[in-house]
Structure 1
Amino acid sequence: MKKVAVLTSGGDAPGMNAAIRAVVRKGIYEGLKIIGVKRGYAGLIEGDFEPLERRSVADIIHRGGTFLRSARSEEFRSKEGRRKAVEQLKYIGADGLVIIGGDGSFKGAQLLGEESDIKTVGIPGTIDNDIACTDYSIGYDTALNTILDAMNKIRDTATSHERTFVIEAMGRHSGFLTLMSGLAGGAESILIPEFDFDLDQVCQKLEAGYERGKLHSIILVAEGIGDNFQTSRDLNESKAFALGEEISKRIGLETRVTVLGHLQRGGTPTAQDRLLATRLGAAAVDVLLTGETNKMVGVIHDQIEVAEIEEAIESQKDVDEGLYELADILSL
């Protein structure tokens, strides 16, 4: 192993820069040459490369986003597209590839490793925290704190105007981010894809709270919640708006909706995300130096663990039902 490429793929997540920095500096320490791939798999196919030195990653550990940038690539989904990517890596003499991203990025890494002799290792980087074989993924903690900050500010307005606010968080089809931020932020109701909900019960809880003298209520909703409530609104729009509309219609409470959207992906990474990214970046280099391929590095019980990337892709990471029940108990 003499030369390793590194790329970020899929949605950006705070801490990706810290992971790149660790890959570069640990790799150089081990005598490797490191090549940065710009714009993810799209840049890999096009040969958009940049040699990275120690100074290339100076002063990026605190920056959000990814300085290598990221992009979707439909071409990489085809075998021909991946063949072009391998040719580009061979052309620059790269023996290994570090991929920082989510499950879609990991699938690309798996296929690349199976169809060539390029050694691949994945680093979980997604605010959704939905990747198996690791307790946490890079960006999750920062996004969690971003949501909490937004909830705190919205609560001030909600109390001032005695209103119900519906807040929509990201997470695709996973409720990790929504559940944990709702539990930490004291939301009155938390609606996530993993569990069905009864809108009548949500409304009853809201009414009971106001009867006890509550001045506001916050309902935290994951973007991937199911369509198990009736509404005339187009559900191609944010489900949070449909939910807010239905609550107003059923019990007459004035509601406001806030969709946090891509705000959750940005910002300075927390200390937790910087430390996680640094540890995983260095571990990825160690894995490549052993000659292994199609692996991922993660952290379980605060210890670095190496798993088959296929296991991470095919396994489902379950939300803790006990925490979901606890959030409901504490909101009464």
Structure 2
Amino acid sequence: MTRPCPGPLPVTSKPGWKAPPGSTDCHMHIFGPYHRYPLSPGRGYTPPEASIGMYLDMLNAIGFSRTVVVQPSIYGTDNAVTLDAVEAMGLDRARAVVVVDESFDLPALKAMSPRGACGVRFNAVSGNGTPLEQLEALGEKLAQLGWHLQLYAHAAELIALEDVLKRLPVPVVIDHMGGVLASEGGVDSAGFRALLRLLEAGAWAKLCGYRSSAGAPYRDVAEMARAMLRAAPERCVWGTDWPHPSMWPPLQVPDDGVLLDALGEWAPQEAQRQAILVDNPARLYGFGPPIRPA
């Protein structure tokens, strides 16, 4: 029996600053409804349902208009819930990062492009996905589609994979600050040094820092975030990771308004925020120019 975890907070606090038009949440998941999208028996946790409507309420609360739906491990390589969520929200505001393995041939991958798929995720933390041994083989396929490869791994795995990641023929997007924990050395750790080397070599990274932190207001990861922004200001993006699965007590489920306030402290300049939230995601995920209010 898998372990149940809490769902998202019912109310999102209002951030202390206003996000620019076209801001993109580059990392979130949809769970359910389970009668339509049954859970994978190989999953490592069981979350409550987290619907598109619930998510859009949160997105409106933080003032964002675009999103990237990331296939969660609880569904394995059945991407129906993720691709259907993009369809429901529309290609003008949503993209998908799917989970596949070597059984998916090029035509099968290509068929997902019109539905908003633009990347493949390798999840070495939660499992129930693509083996890391398939990184290079899938990287060759993704290069033919113009997709990127997204990696969620522990810091030790990031170190071990550094050379492989550098030679992949596709953009590499590193989740959750490379899995580096503030409590295990932060900016001084070998894992973070590997992350910086990858950024300097052309990788992208997500400033989703709460999993690296001891908790709100996440100041213990501020130095890491600022170092990442110095290394690759044009290749850092940000995401909520809503609905924040696998956060068991005593860990607290994050408030997405507080998460955005933390980003505001890491990137206090308007130009930085515009790059992280609008311009960088538009290039990575293929969004058009945002519609700006008159």
User: TM-score, normalized by length of structure 2?
Assistant: 0.31
Greater C-alpha Rg: 1
Structure number having the greater strand percentage: 1
